[in-house]
Structure 1
Amino acid sequence: MPTTDELELPLAPGELWWGGAVADGAAMPFGRAPHHRDLARNAGFADAEHDGANQSAPLLVSSHGRYVWSENPFAFTFADGSLTVSGDDVTVGSGGATLRDAFTTASRQHFPASGTTPDERMFSAPQYNTWMENPFLPTQEGVLDYVSRILGQGLPPGVVMIDDRWSQDYGAWRFDEGRFPDPAAMVATLHEWGCPVMLWVVPYVSPDSAEFRELEGRGLLLRRPDGEPVVRRWWNGYSAMLDLSHPDALGWLREQWAPLTAIGVDGFKLDGADLRYYADDDVAHDAPRPRTDLCEAWAALGSEYAFNEMRACWKLGGRPLAQRLHDKPSSWGSDGLGSLIPELVAQGLIGHPYTCPDMIGGGLMTGVTTPETVDQELYVRYAQVAALAPMMQFSLSPARVLDAEHRAAVASAVAVRDAHLPVILDLVRSASRTGEPVLRALAYHHPGFEHVADEFLLGEDVLVAPVLEPGATSRPVILPPGTWLDAAGAPHTGPGEVLLEVDLHTLPVFRRLPDDTQE
């Protein structure tokens, strides 16, 4: 059912929708209140600084088995009992009667699973990112000290991400020799400790640098309509923008990164390429390009590396891409801890099963960096949400910012992850064949549970209900149909609600008994 103008779909009674932009996770499912999103710019009603700072896709999926898809960005509005979609070549499809039917049909038709995953070491242990400990000016000594302290506290070896400004400059993708005198030795040491190594990169180039002059001469930078190179402000200053639609620009990046992989670097955290940093009149090598083309090309480059991480992405559902939520403040509410589950669900429902919450405790640099400024209870609850997400990433070191009691609670969360790791890895491998999310809303398997936004399922048989309120001593848990065993092995029959007593160490997890064993 294609359209090149505007399509209006009346909503069926009780019909609810997910999709579009991950930043709208807290507003999902749509259909209960007015909502608007323009996917061409990833902007909603209020184009705030972090509005649309994550993954987005031209996909909406319905609790009644319907879906909306296009190869191109579209705008959509929910209001007055209808969904209005404006865009080119929009398709409305139906795969059955449930949310899962809608998603699996759309996935098979429009973004089939690739058959591959990111390297399984992205999932099999926590990840460690230097951002909050060594912001902007990491050093070789600082990286090794950061990792050794974490491992010394008993956390398992995992991927180490060296974040912003390990390099000489933006676009000069070589280690700064003053701060990293022997990067090959550093990488070798981290490998000896069991830690794969990833480096942070962006598609931006500092102006008036040797790289800028080379790229300008080769026609590999985006240009303004008057022919001058674009120099635009992003969160770290002003930079030129690579023309990611140009094959030679991508080839240039591969050339810059090849000496890094030659010394053992395992992959890259590809940051940036947010739609909000491009303009409608930016000119690529052949013509003005939609912002989405540039973001998509950046993510496609990331999929060439088995170790990768995307924080912004357009389309490319089903690809072997690790997708992280954008930097969150260290807060309990809907912008911080409370946003994690809805946005992780949204990631999966636009085609990205390999998902990761923000860095534990929040990755937004807001002065929360010392033991005195860290909310240690919040840190623990963040770790508990992340523990049973597909991926788990630390930045603020628990060895530095937590007391013994809270470090022990974090260690307990990691132990829960270890106990469920076979389930997580099985679901990751399954996702490479089916495209289905690893982390799922209850409504994915249980129609009528669309209102539950603070719990999630791992696959179909593990229900997770993290504690999300400060000072909580109890946690109500909504159980869908079936017999569910709690951590002590006690059975509970759903549908229904269970009120659990909780303390700092409690991460409520329930396992569903197979149907043939239920009484």
Structure 2
Amino acid sequence: MTQNRLEIEILQDEFWWGGDIDDGVKMPFGMTAHTRDLINEGRGNQAVPLLISNKGRYIWSDKSIRFHFSGELLKVESENGDIVLSENNGNLRETFLAAANSHFPASGSVPDELFFTMPQYNLWIELQYEPTQEKTLAYAKNVLEQGMPPGVIMIDDNWMEDYGVWKFRKDRFPDPKGMTEELHALGFKVMLWTCPFISPDNAANFRYLEREGYLLKDEHGETAIRRWWNGYSAVLDCTNPSAVEWYEGELHKLMDDYGIDGFKFDAGDPQFYRKSDQSVVQMHPNEHCEAWAKIGLNYSLNEYRSCWKSAGLPLVQRLGDKSHSWKEDGLASLIPNGLAQGLLGYAFTCPDMIGGGQIADIENNPNYKLDQELFVRYAQCSALFPMMQFSTAPWRVLDEEHLAYCVNAAKLHENFGPMIKDLAHDAAQTGEPIIRHMAYVFPEGGYEQIKDQFMLGDQILVAPVIVKGARNRSIAFPKGRWQGDDGSIVQGPFSQTIEAPLSRLPWYRMI
């Protein structure tokens, strides 16, 4: 049935996931009060108008929703769209597949396979706003010298002349084609950071785009100037096919002239748009975010952080910037938020940069001190995600022992690469998550509230250590026979505390 308001009773032992990926640390919902307004609150990570239950029920809308769990009732409303309630779909896995097949079917395509088989190296935290050709090449060479595998390397913000002027800064990149060729020879593919913002201070470029009608307008019909983390900028109107054609032309020129392989599509967050904005196609701020995401479909090497209703598509979805912290703003968020990504249809997921990608932790912070143990546990937690991404150079900030543990994590990801790649291709056909909630694979086990371990596919149980100083951890083993990375055998169902020294990422294979 459909309506724009819905109120249902929460069933006994019913648990829910959905809405905003950043709320993964609070999922499953249903036990306590929780509210999320996806109509008026712009979100900085993935979101989708879907709620999914372990009792065979899901709720979907094609438009933005707000919802409230009171502990006994679930209330959902949409201002301008119908709400679908589907029931009797089976267990959590069956319910997810019913929702996916009906509302966000898998595209059949995957991002570039290198994302899954090798680590990524994003230069953001290491180089911040000062990337150069020399530093980029030095970073790549250091990766290989440390025995780490090559993979995708991403040159982040400020490689270009200005926002909207997508040309290499000659003072920083005197020979970008030569740099790219050298990186390719070392085994890397190369991505560049980009965004939908246009600097109004670059007069010639801004005047041209404004004259052509490629920029978003505010409620008064004037070019909208928005405050974002790097100042004030105009915004590309991604509902305008001609504006998108101009932008893609700039990207393809970088690919054709310099051999660039793909792009990190940053920003585009809903909070940078207004309901009153004027565009070629009138849209809700969430839908502007969705229009920005569609551009990435033309590039097999892509990355997004903020997305709306883009489940089932071959887009790399990184978790939002995390702190250098053990808490739920840092390491403790990776597993629950990553599981939420999968349960909401975002299969091609990447945790945040190892050690945390929140620049505010470092920038102008005299009290910042890197925790080597935390850095290692970040790397281990990421190793058996679909992707893992380094930024802060581990060889610069770690001693020999801790560096070795991070190198081992990178090699573990490489070793699992063929399996992860196969799971990615399966996700492209079925929509199923690559990393899966315990309750998704073992619906009768009562594992709905476990969010510090996960399944890689249906056969590999992964239980990272996410508590400072811990050298053991408790693992819930489902029914079956499990062989550990250390050779041990466990017969489930059984909960057992195992040893987990800093050198170890505990994982088990069903045999």
Range into which the TM-score falls when normalised by the shorter chain: over 0.9
Residue by residue, what CA displacement relative to the aligned partner does 1:149-174 show, whole Å, maximum 9, x if unpaired? Answer: 12211111110000001000000011
Q: Return the match for 1:91 from 76, 84, 87.
A: 84
Q: Secondary structure at the match of 1:132?
A: helix
Instruction: Give runs of aligned pairs for residues 93-108 of structure 1, distance below 5 A.
Output: 93-94=86-87, 96-108=89-101
Query: How far apart are the structure 1 equivalents of 2:281 and 2:304?
Result: 26
- Give 1:138's aligned residue: 131
Question: Bigger CA drift: 127-136 or 367-376?
Answer: 367-376
Query: How far apart are the structure 1 equivalents of 2:349 and 2:159?
Result: 25
Amino acid at match of 1:283: Q
The alpha-carbon deviation at position 371 of structure 1 amounts to 13
Q: Which runs of 5+ in 2 are unaligned?
A: none
- Give 1:64's aligned residue: 55
Query: How far apart are the structure 1 equivalents of 2:260 and 2:88?
Result: 43
Query: How far apart are the structure 1 equivalents of 2:453 and 2:26?
Result: 16
Query: How far apart are the structure 1 equivalents of 2:225 and 2:190?
Result: 31
- Give 2:478's aligned residue: 480
The alpha-carbon deviation at position 418 of structure 1 amounts to 2.9
Q: Return the match for 2:495 from 490, 494, 497.
A: 497
1:368–1:374: 8 Å Cα contact kept in structure 2? no
2:323–2:361: 8 Å Cα contact kept in structure 1? no
Amino acid at match of 2:299: Y
Normalised by the length of structure 1, the TM-score is 0.95
Query: How far apart are the structure 1 equivalents of 2:348 and 2:241?
Result: 27
Q: How many residues align?
A: 503
2:31–2:71: 8 Å Cα contact kept in structure 1? no
Residue by residue, what CA displacement relative to the aligned partner does 1:366-394 show, whole Å, maximum 9, x if unpaired? Answer: 35499992111100000001100000100
Q: Secondary structure at the match of 2:48?
A: strand
Q: Return the match for 2:449 from 441, 445, 451.
A: 451
Residue by residue, what CA displacement relative to the aligned partner does 1:166-209 show, whole Å, maximum 9, x if unpaired? Answer: 00000001111111111011111100001000000000000132
Q: Return the match for 1:165 from 154, 158, 161.
A: 158
Residue by residue, what CA displacement relative to the aligned partner does 1:339-380 show, whole Å, maximum 9, x if unpaired? Answer: 000110111111110000000000111354999921111000
- Give 1:30's aligned residue: 29
The alpha-carbon deviation at position 422 of structure 1 amounts to 2.5
Instruction: Give runs of aligned pairs for residues 141-290 of structure 1, distance below 5 A.
Output: 141-209=134-202, 210-262=204-256, 263-287=258-282, 289-290=283-284
Query: How far apart are the structure 2 equivalents of 1:117 and 1:181?
Result: 34
- Give 1:49's aligned residue: none
Question: Bigger CA drift: 451-460 or 410-419?
Answer: 410-419
1:355 and 2:349 are equivalent in the alignment: yes
1:394 and 2:387 are equivalent in the alignment: no
2:18–2:48: 8 Å Cα contact kept in structure 1? yes
Q: Secondary structure at the match of 1:133?
A: helix
1:323–1:354: 8 Å Cα contact kept in structure 2? yes
Query: How far apart are the structure 2 equivalents of 1:286 and 1:476?
Result: 53
Q: CA RMSD in A?
A: 1.5
2:477–2:495: 8 Å Cα contact kept in structure 1? yes
1:327 and 2:325 are equivalent in the alignment: no
Q: Which runs of 5+ in 1 are unaligned?
A: 44-51, 514-519
The alpha-carbon deviation at position 83 of structure 1 amounts to 1.1
Q: Secondary structure at the match of 1:303?
A: helix
Classify 1:240/1:97 alpha carbon distance in 2 versus 1 (closer, same or farther; 3 Å).
same
The alpha-carbon deviation at position 489 of structure 1 amounts to 2.8
The alpha-carbon deviation at position 40 of structure 1 amounts to 2.3
Query: How far apart are the structure 1 equivalents of 2:264 and 2:153?
Result: 11
Normalised by the length of structure 2, the TM-score is 0.96
1:443–1:449: 8 Å Cα contact kept in structure 2? yes
Segments of 4+ in structure 1 off by > 6 A? 369-372
The alpha-carbon deviation at position 302 of structure 1 amounts to 0.6
- Give 1:73's aligned residue: 64
The alpha-carbon deviation at position 502 of structure 1 amounts to 1.7
Q: Secondary structure at the match of 2:166?
A: strand
The alpha-carbon deviation at position 483 of structure 1 amounts to 1.6
Residue by residue, what CA displacement relative to the aligned partner does 1:227-276 show, whole Å, maximum 9, x if unpaired? Answer: 11111110111101111111111111111111111021011000001111
Query: How far apart are the structure 1 equivalents of 2:172 and 2:469?
Result: 42
Q: Share of identical aligned residues, percent?
A: 47
Residue by residue, what CA displacement relative to the aligned partner does 1:78-120 show, whole Å, maximum 9, x if unpaired? Answer: 1141111101211111362211111101111111111110010
